[in-house]
Amino acid sequence: MEWLKEAALWLWNNQEFRFVIDAAWKLALSVLLSGIIGFEREHSHRPAGFRTHILVAVGSTLIMLTSVYISKTYEGQANVDITRMAAQVVSGIGFLGAGTILREGFSVKGLTTAASLWAVSCIGIAVGAGFVTGACVATFVIYMTLNSLKKVIVRGKAGKALYIEVKDLAEQVPKISGLIKRTGTVVHSMEILYDNDSKFRKKKDTATIKALIFPKTDNALKIIVSTLQADENVVDVYMD
């Protein structure tokens, strides 16, 4: 057993091995923190979800770890700026954010997902740099902002969620959007629910549109609901 202790001591005193262990737990922490944010986005059916956020954070962490590794490896041999690669991550993450915004056709809600991707990349950089406390606190703040504050804002503005089951999705989407806007109602977002939200579907050949709206008056809401119910292509209207 003595040789095991010696081997363990040798490994622990080996800087290369210690760096590998440090990198491994930082990458694991990056997966955990970004997974929390990604889960919230996935649960909200956003275009960039669980896997995308994890990939962004892990990649950012790896970039920062690589910068630190290069700095240690070539210390005294070259002038290495460990912040240069990280800076490229922060600026380069924009292409993903642009993709999430372009995919949201009815509103600019994709901006929130784009911002969460950018924030997750910053979390990854912080973890890679060893600023674990800041990364954990930021994760908590970001999650609360995405989850809890969203509910507070909706309640504060008396928002209403309409679930509209329709037959012809392509034709009904612009029609419904136009109807809601004509009543002076603000459309916060419109999205097509996924198959796992089948509780809002009565028929297999229909689709469900979820519209989060902010009507100016109760009468405006009644007009929207009654007009939709009178449409032959609308199977049913649910309100939350």
pLDDT tens-digit readout, 86-98:
888 877 776 666 6
Q: Which domain holds residue 229?
A: 157-239
Residues 49 and 141 in one domain: yes
pLDDT at 104: 45
Co-location of 83 and 108 in the same domain:
yes
Residues 144 and 169 in one domain: no
Cα–Cα dist 168/170, whole Å: 6
Q: Say whether both 130 and 161 belong to one domain.
A: no
Tokens of 73: 């490896």
Beta bridge mates, 214: 186
Position 200 pLDDT exceeds 70:
no
Give the pLDDT band of residue 185 (cuts 50, 70, 90): confident
Structurally, the chain folds into a number of domains equal to 2
The span from the CA of 166 to the CA of 236, in Å, is 7
Tell me how far apart the alpha carbons of residues 13 and 6 are, in angstroms, rounded to a whole number. 10
For residues 193-220, give the mean pLDDT: 70
Q: What is the DSSP string of 90-145?
A: HHHTHHHHHHHHHH--SSSTHHHHHHHHHHHHHHHHHHHHT-HHHHHHHHHHHHHH
> At which of 123, 154, 185 does a domain end?
154
Confidence of residue 77 (pLDDT cuts 50, 70, 90): confident
Domain boundary among 154, 181, 203: 154
Q: What is the DSSP-derived secondary structure letter of residue 206?
A: -
* CA–CA dist 62, 163 (Å, integer): 43
Kindly state whether residues 145 and 192 are assigned to the same domain.
Answer: no
* pTM, to two decimals: 0.61
End-of-domain residue from the set 134, 154, 174: 154
For position 171, which CATH number holds?
3.30.70.260
State whether 146 and 215 are in the same domain: no
What is the predicted pLDDT for the residue at 113? Answer: 77
Residues 132, 66 within the same domain: yes
Structure confidence at residue 29 as a pLDDT band (50, 70, 90): very high
Give the sign of the dihedral formed by CA 163, CA 151, CA 34, CA 56: positive
- Give the 3-state secondary structure percentages of the chain, helix then strand then coil, rounded to 5: 70, 10, 20
**pLDDT at res. 234:** 84
Q: Are residues 122 and 190 in the same domain?
A: no
Query: Per-residue pLDDT tens for 116-134?
Result: 888 899 999 999 998 999 9
Q: How far apart are CA 236 and CA 207, in angstroms?
A: 11
Task: Convert 131-166 to b/e letters by CB count within 10 Å (16 or more is b).
Answer: eeeebbebbeebbebbeeeeeeeeeeeebbebbbbb
DSSP lists the bridge partners of residue 92 as none
- Do 20 and 45 sit in the same domain of this protein? yes
3-state SS record for 35-76: HHHHHHHHHCCCCCCHHHHHHHHHHHHHHHHHHHHHHHHCCC
Query: Are 135 and 171 within one domain?
Result: no
Residues 149 and 162 in one domain: no
Q: Smallest Cα–Cα separation from 215: which of 147, 148, 152, 162?
A: 162
On the question of pLDDT at 171 being above 60, the answer is yes
**What is the spatial distance between Cα 10 and Cα 79, in angstroms, rounded to a whole number?**
31
